[in-house]
Structure 1
Amino acid sequence: MERTYTLMLVEDERNILYGMKNAILCHKPQVTDILTAENGREALELLEERVPDIIITDIRMPEVDGTELVRRIREQGYEMPVIILTAMTDFAIARDLIHYQIQNYIVKPFSIEEILKETEVAIGELKKRSQMKMAQKIVKEFPELVETPPSSENQLISQAVEYISSHLDGAASLNDISGALHVSKAYLSTLFKREMNTTVTDFVTKQRMKEAKKLLLETDMLVSEIYLKVGYQSDKYFIKVFKEMEGVTPLAYRKRWK
């Protein structure tokens, strides 16, 4: 299931404020909740209750303006994408906020298309951050998932390992590998066991499970998509093998770590 996002709109002109809100809710289904504030003070009060994923704020507002709002947001450690709305006459002021890592500036009068485009860019940035965070977590907590498959100085076995790595989603049986390398099954089986200290079948299974775990952690793919991606023709058999190796079902594994 795709993640949804909360957005905060800060604008003292109500017709603009609610026009943006309605347009985003109508055209961006990923945004399911929009918080509204008519000045920076209201926005800061809202932040104490809920932290949005994205903020779109005007610069010129009463009480606490957009400049002060952005400064205080960053000082409090919030890193969400911030989009600035500014009149051309205030652009020099808005540009001084660049060191606060502003996503972009939209100059008034603006079109709804510009708002929707920048909202989509912000969602893309959040997805990218999430993927990077998950990748860092995997490297730290699951180093075995990012390690390259064990290799051998024997050229034939190296070729076999390379074949397996590139055919996890398809035919990677002993018969397939020996046929591709033009050697007998018996010879390849004996040599593989001696060099790798495991059977071809067990090695293939471990590599497929490793890839399945990466997909469970790094993506939102369904189990019904993952089992095909790692070369299984039956979801029940895939789940059975996964549980035998990991002690939990694929969905429980994802829920536990993600």
Structure 2
Amino acid sequence: MRNRTILIVDDEPRSREGMKKILGVWAAGKYEILTASHAAAALEILESTPVELMITDIRMPEVSGLMLVSQMKQRNIERQPSVILISGHAQFEYAQQAIHLSVVDYLLKPVSREKLIASVENALKEGEEREHIVSMRKIADPQLMAVKTEEAAYSDPVRQAMDYVELHLEEAVSLQDVAAEVHLNASYLSSLFKEQCQMNFSEYVARRKLQKAKELLLKTNLPIQEIASRTGYQTVKYFNKLFKEYEGMSPGRYRSMRNGMEAHVQ
């Protein structure tokens, strides 16, 4: 796997190399630290390399750090990095523009090692959270989301049934098991669930398990057979069949497409 990348943009060599040295020691090989001496060079890097975090000085010749951030957001850059702005001047208008551009932090020179590292760690954490949200939106099941939105209005037995499913995603879940758990007749619970959730209980279980499977497909390198097992399916053949029925493709193909890989996984 590639190292994640932090980009430092500063026209002052001493400042630029100083930050690179501090972050190089801190990163201990976990991040590649790239540098650029002006905005044009920074944009070239951003367009060719996925960057998690950009640290840029505000006052640079020709194109300022603020203008760089603005241009970056206007361009079709696949990954928009988190941004930390650095300035030698505590000007209110800079801070205002930084907020408008959704900059994570605004630091004043000279920046101490401790402040720089703390700011970088915070910015990377925010970036990971944002990436997680984007990832979840990409794989979200609209029908599950609709059910979740209305959950507060459901009756106690239906909410309890949904909670039971959530706690037993790694097992085979039957209507009879859930009905016994909520102390209702299975037939009655089935009717109640369909009436309130607008889908059969079995469909809800399948969709929720497949949602979990999609998360595992994208976030791990687990074999398909292991993912099938972790979502309560005893045979990978049935898991593949169900996945294709709901997603229109095999689990391997889904992983390949979502991860931007060309190799076709059988």
Question: TM-score interval w.r.t. the shorter chain?
Answer: 0.5 to 0.7
Distance 1:30 1:173, change over 3 A: farther
Gaps of 5+ in 2: 260-266
1:84 aligns with 2:81: no
* Paired residue type of 2:37: E
d(CA) in 2 for partners of 1:101, 1:163: 37
* Aligned counterparts, 1:240-251, within 5 A: 240-247=237-244, 249-251=250-252
**Count of residue pairs brought into register by the alignment:** 235
- Contact map agreement 1:41 1:64 (CA 8 A) in 2: no
Distance 1:145 1:134, change over 3 A: farther
1:211 aligns with 2:211: no
Gaps of 5+ in 1: none
Q: What's the C-alpha RMSD, in Å, of the aligned pairs?
A: 4.2
* Aligned counterparts, 1:180-219, within 5 A: 180-182=181-183, 188=186, 192=190, 203-204=201-202, 206-215=203-212, 216-217=214-215
* Paired residue type of 1:5: R
Distance 1:71 1:81, change over 3 A: same
Cα drift, residue 114 of structure 1: 1.9
1:86-127 alpha-carbon deviations (Å, 9 max, x no partner):
22xx11164353333332111222222222222222222322
Distance 1:211 1:116, change over 3 A: farther
Query: Where does residue 144 of structure 1 map in the other structure?
Result: 143
Normalised TM-score (structure 1): 0.66
* Aligned counterparts, 1:41-80, within 5 A: 42-44=41-43, 46-47=45-46, 50=49, 52-61=51-60, 63-64=61-62, 68-75=64-71, 77=74, 80=81
1:20-65 alpha-carbon deviations (Å, 9 max, x no partner):
223334434796333212344543554565563422122344x336
d(CA) in 2 for partners of 1:231, 1:35: 45
- Contact map agreement 1:6 1:54 (CA 8 A) in 2: yes
Normalised TM-score (structure 2): 0.64
| Aligned-partner SS, 2:108 | strand
- Contact map agreement 1:165 1:207 (CA 8 A) in 2: no
* Paired residue type of 2:6: L
- Contact map agreement 1:58 1:84 (CA 8 A) in 2: yes
* Aligned counterparts, 1:212-251, within 5 A: 212-215=209-212, 216-217=214-215, 220-221=219-220, 223=222, 230-231=231-232, 237=235, 239-247=236-244, 249-251=250-252
Distance 1:244 1:221, change over 3 A: same
* Paired residue type of 1:119: V
Max Rg structure: 1
- Contact map agreement 1:54 1:81 (CA 8 A) in 2: yes
Query: Where does residue 101 of structure 1 map in the other structure?
Result: 102
d(CA) in 2 for partners of 1:45, 1:179: 61
Q: Percent identity?
A: 24
| Aligned-partner SS, 2:180 | helix
- Contact map agreement 1:81 1:102 (CA 8 A) in 2: yes
| Aligned-partner SS, 1:52 | coil
Query: Where does residue 264 of structure 2 map in the other structure?
Result: none
Distance 1:34 1:212, change over 3 A: farther
- Contact map agreement 1:10 1:56 (CA 8 A) in 2: yes
* Paired residue type of 1:19: G
d(CA) in 1 for partners of 2:191, 2:174: 15
- Contact map agreement 1:168 1:207 (CA 8 A) in 2: no
1:132 aligns with 2:133: yes
Cα drift, residue 135 of structure 1: 3.9
* Paired residue type of 1:254: R
Distance 1:51 1:207, change over 3 A: closer
Query: Where does residue 119 of structure 1 map in the other structure?
Result: 120
